[in-house]
Amino acid sequence: MIAPALGGGLLRLDALEGSHGCQPILRPWSGKAINHAERAMFVMVPWCNRISSGGFWLDGRHHDIKPNLDDQPMPIHGTGFMKVWDVVSATMERVTLRLAEASVPPFRFEAMLEYHLGENFLQISLHLVHQGAAPVPYGLGFHPWFCWSAGDLLQFGAGHFVVENQHRLPVEIRQVETGDYNDFSLPRHLMADLFNGTYLDWDGSCEILRADGHRVHMTANGAARFLHLFSRGNDGGFLCLEPVSHTVDALNRPMRGEALPQVLSNSEMIETEMVISWL
């Protein structure tokens, strides 16, 4: 179920099980609040996660960006998840949405978002074209809320991990060591408490081995080469596996060169794709 009026977000994604009904893959929207965190999935554009310092400097000028959510002290997740997207086309299998956005300078862009539903997969494609006169750094990402139970296991490969401070801002890069708390190279449960951080050198895929016997697979390609993981513990009921094109607050504190937002000149494009499949 797709909601163009709610940031083009996805309200639910279920696997059909014949006479047994539906099995949720993503945590369904509660229907009780118009809030980005209540959606099953939303897109992050034109930046991912948080921006500190009230904005960022570009070519000698500070661009002020105010917090966009009441419960967050910093602007977060861009502007696209709060906007109404136009429906370009819609069939039972494919929906294409469009957003023309210039409400937060210096970002001025047109974004296209396409959902393609197959028998056992959902493919989501996102691309953005910069429409401003001067070059501007951009970022893209997906923010799915996967269903999670205490008996589930997670597996993916990554080489380095960005450690965050109490404000959820990056402070250092650490190598992922075999058997450490942030190592998911072999299937394992989540940690007991809050987990929030970005993986570099991500291999582009994740697998959730669910206690109910389902296997949920997520892959990403294009600009979203990093993986941000957010959970509130093994009993939290959800797991956010977020393919992103840059690290948190990369406009102010880039962790290393390849995690920088991509600078686009007029008419240049950035694009990415995520596929969620299930067995």
Q: How many residues in the chain?
A: 279
Per the CB < 8 A criterion, the answer to whether 175 and 159 are in contact is yes
**Nearest C-alpha neighbor of 199 from the set 233, 169, 162:** 162
- Answer whether 161's CB lies under 8 Å from 177's CB: no
Q: What is the predicted pLDDT for the residue at 265?
A: 98
Provide the pLDDT for residue 64: 97
Q: Which residues of the chain have pLDDT under 70?
A: 18-20, 33-34, 257-258
- Structure confidence by residue, pLDDT tens digits, 60-83: 999 999 999 888 999 999 999 999
Backbone angles phi, psi at 18, to 5 degrees: 60, -130
The answer to whether 134 touches 59, Cβ cutoff 8 Å, is: yes
Question: What does the alpha-carbon distance between residue 207 and residue 192 come to, in Å, rounded to a whole number?
Answer: 19
The domain spanning residue 129 has which CATH number?
2.70.98.10
Contact 40/27 with Cβ under 8 angstroms? yes
Give the model's pLDDT for residue 18.
63
Number of structural domains (the chain) is 1
Domain span at residue 85 reads 2-278
Residue 219 pairs in a beta bridge with 205, 275
Q: Please give the pLDDT value at position 223.
A: 96
